[in-house]
Amino acid sequence: MARAPSNPLVERLLQAREVLGLPEEASLADVKKAYRSLSLSLHPDRRPPEEREEAEAAMQRVNEAYAVLECFLEHYPVPLHRKALEARVFDPEQWWRERFAGPVAGNDSD
């Protein structure tokens, strides 16, 4: 049986969970703890000069993953597994626009 195409936001949240090495049951506190731990271990200033470029790229991935998960879990404290996320995320494009790109087009409520 073929699986229905996945929601892009759900995929991004699952990828972010993988980057931070979190279990499916991770809470916002777990996300923050994993972020702090990875930030300390991957920080470019703590790496030898020949590893700094790679460390900067890794830190960027960790920072992006943290930003996505923190924002989502503050508003929707649900387990980070596919079934729970797909049940909770109804319109990912609208959710993303509301939080990162300002008001949704056509929504003039100020």
Which pLDDT score, from 0 to 100, does residue 56 have? Answer: 93
Which pLDDT score, from 0 to 100, does residue 93 have? Answer: 67
For residue range 74-93, list pLDDT tens digits in order. 887 777 777 777 776 656 66
Which pLDDT score, from 0 to 100, does residue 26 have? Answer: 87
Number of domains in the chain: 1
pTM metric for this prediction: 0.70
109 assigned to some structural domain:
no
CATH number of 83's domain: 1.10.287.110
Band of pLDDT at residue 53, cut at 50, 70 and 90: very high
Which DSSP string corresponds to the chain?
Answer: -PPPPPPHHHHHHHHHHHHHT--TT--HHHHHHHHHHHHHHH-GGGS-GGGHHHHHHHHHHHHHHHHHHHHHHHH----SSHHHHHHH-S-HHHHHHHHHS-SPTT----
The whole domain housing 28 covers 8-100
110 assigned to some structural domain:
no
2 assigned to some structural domain:
no
CA nearest 27: which of 60, 93, 73?
73
